[in-house]
Amino acid sequence: MSVNYNPLVSRRFPNLIRIGNFHKAVTLNELHQETQSVRMRNDDEEFNCQSWVMTVLKSLAEDGWLTNAQSATGADATTEGILEAEDDEK
């Protein structure tokens, strides 16, 4: 991924979900490492990018980066975004 990549200007970017602030000082490199530690299970047909996001949110809460409430808010907003995107495709 390009260092200057900005997903907000991509035509493929559906929406931004704000879930709050981290509960400890975090560098972008630490966040990158934390998210990369969540494996994308390509061998599981039911696991997709939305599943990965949900797993990352849960992991961030378990590790104390987010509260459980923030994780749940992010998961709910992700689900709503998926449903809205599906409605737009019809």
In the chain, where are the structural domains located?
7-88
The pLDDT score that the predictor gives to residue 26 is 83
pLDDT band at 3 (very low <50, low <70, confident <90, very high): confident
Residue 82 CB burial class (10 angstroms; 0-12, 13-18, ≥19):
middle
Mean pLDDT, the chain, whole residue set: 83
Q: Mean of the pLDDT values across residues 27-56?
A: 88
| Cα–Cα distance, 65 to 62 (Å, whole number) | 8
Three state DSSP letters for 14-77: CCCCCCCCCCCCCCHHHHHHHHHCCCCCCCCCCCCHHHHHHHHHHHHHHCCCCCHHHHHHHHHH
Separation between Cα atoms, residue 36 and residue 52, nearest integer Å: 10
The reply to whether the predicted model has a pTM over 0.85 is: no
